[in-house]
């Protein structure tokens, strides 16, 4: 939905006469309504050209002649909804993006909970809107490193990271775990050295098996029913909610609170804030919240 999976950026407008396919006001309003109904994304009028350019590829692929025909296709073919959502989603992310979150996660969460002599029985993190996987792998790097250098590195740690996104294309890339060698410049050097991410040359790098085994990737629409019960010790949902309207955002925050363990942490994006009152959730740092114990 670090995204971040549902971020939608503006592009310069083009004149109607330059367009390959006719794209009316009705076409845009209908497609924006479908996007909001299915995903919670609010597509302002400023996103009109982006919607057009992204969906032109679908029209060409399907051999359609105009957007009215594409709208009929969406109505008649449930399978096209997935391609539609994937097409309008923009995924802007990188390893250790918003580094202060990972520093807090390391010092206040991972190390205290995982470095005990006997380890911890259960530890769960949710990357909600995981995009192409850089965020959950960053989480896994911090977790695995804390396990390796703890007081008892041989202790059993029942630690897992759930990585979800609405976009199936980016999930497949994340599950594959392969990234360009130049993707790791923001990863702190001790982690790069520990997990073979330093001096990698020009070839793509496949993430270490010890990291991949911590993560489960799965498709999830944040505004629909969640199949998991939790509780989660930590939730990362960053740069996703800025594309939702206020009621959707408030509902989502309440659901996060319900599925967070007492004392658990919620990390949100640098440009996001929580509107209204959310009892039981306290701001403790820059875009870092904690559920009351």
pLDDT of residue 120: 55
Same domain, 212 and 130: yes
Mean pLDDT (the chain, rounded): 87
| Last residue of one domain, picked from the residues 88, 118, 133 | 88
Judge whether 10 lies within some domain: no
Burial of 35 (0-12, 13-18, 19+ CB in 10 A): buried
Expressed as residue numbers, the domain containing 42 is 16-88
Quote the percentage of the chain above a pLDDT of 90.
66
> Of the given ranges (19-28, 52-61, 82-91, 226-235), which has the lowest mean pLDDT?
82-91
pTM of the model: 0.84
Same domain, 54 and 112: no
Q: Which has the higher per-residue pLDDT, 5 or 60?
A: 60
Same domain, 230 and 138: yes
Judge whether 5 lies within some domain: no
Same domain, 131 and 268: yes
Same domain, 233 and 175: yes
Residues taking part in catalysis: 54, 165
Q: Which has the higher per-residue pLDDT, 158 or 142?
A: 142
Rounded mean pLDDT of 275-290? 86
Backbone angles phi, psi at 119, to 5 degrees: 75, -170
Assess contact for 270 and 240: CB atoms under 8 A: no
Rounded mean pLDDT of 216-226? 96
What is the C-alpha to C-alpha distance for residues 149 and 23, in angstroms, rounded to an integer? 58
When divided into structural domains, the chain yields a total of 2
**Residue 59: CATH number of its domain:** 1.10.155.10
Judge whether 93 lies within some domain: no
| Last residue of one domain, picked from the residues 37, 62, 88 | 88
What is the C-alpha to C-alpha distance for residues 161 and 189, in angstroms, rounded to an integer? 23
**In the block, residue with structure tokens 């497949």:** 172
Q: Which has the higher per-residue pLDDT, 293 or 75?
A: 75
Same domain, 265 and 143: yes
| Last residue of one domain, picked from the residues 38, 66, 88 | 88
Judge whether 4 lies within some domain: no
Confidence grade of residue 167 (pLDDT, cut at 50, 70, 90): very high
Structure tokens at 235: 């939730």
Q: In a 3-state reduction of DSSP, which class is residue 165?
A: strand
pLDDT of residue 14: 41
Judge whether 266 lies within some domain: yes
Same domain, 192 and 215: yes
User: Would the pLDDT of 186 be above 90?
Assistant: yes
Same domain, 110 and 235: yes
Q: In a 3-state reduction of DSSP, which class is residue 166?
A: coil
């Amino acid at each position: 939905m670090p995204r971040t999976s549902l971020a939608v950026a503006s592009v310069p407008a083009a004149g109607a006469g330059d367009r390959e396919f006719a794209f009316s006001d009705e076409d845009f309003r209908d497609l924006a309504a479908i996007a909001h109904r299915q995903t919670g994304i609010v597509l302002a009028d400023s996103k009109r050209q982006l919607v057009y350019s992204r969906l032109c590829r679908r029209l060409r692929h399907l051999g359609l002649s105009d957007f009215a025909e594409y709208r009929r296709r969406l109505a008649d073919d449930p399978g096209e909804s997935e391609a539609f959502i994937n097409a309008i989603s923009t995924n802007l992310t990188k390893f250790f993006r918003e580094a202060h979150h990972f520093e807090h996660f390391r010092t206040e969460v991972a190390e205290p909970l995982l470095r005990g002599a006997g380890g911890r029985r259960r530890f769960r993190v949710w990357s909600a809107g995981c995009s192409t996987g850089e965020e959950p792998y960053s989480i896994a790097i911090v977790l695995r490193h804390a396990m390796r250098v703890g007081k008892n590195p041989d202790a059993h740690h029942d630690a897992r990271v759930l990585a979800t996104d609405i976009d199936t294309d980016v999930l497949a890339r994340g599950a594959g775990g392969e990234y360009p060698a130049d993707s790791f410049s923001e990863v702190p050097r001790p982690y790069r050295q520990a997990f073979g991410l330093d001096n990698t040359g020009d070839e793509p790098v496949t993430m270490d098996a010890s990291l991949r085994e911590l993560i489960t990737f799965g498709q999830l629409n944040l505004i629909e029913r969640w199949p998991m019960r939790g509780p989660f010790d930590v939730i990362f949902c960053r740069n996703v909610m800025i594309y939702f309207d206020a009621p959707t955002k408030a509902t989502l925050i309440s659901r996060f609170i319900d599925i967070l363990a007492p004392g658990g942490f919620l990390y949100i994006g640098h440009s996001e804030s929580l509107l209204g009152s959310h009892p039981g959730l306290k701001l403790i740092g820059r875009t870092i919240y904690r559920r009351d114990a």
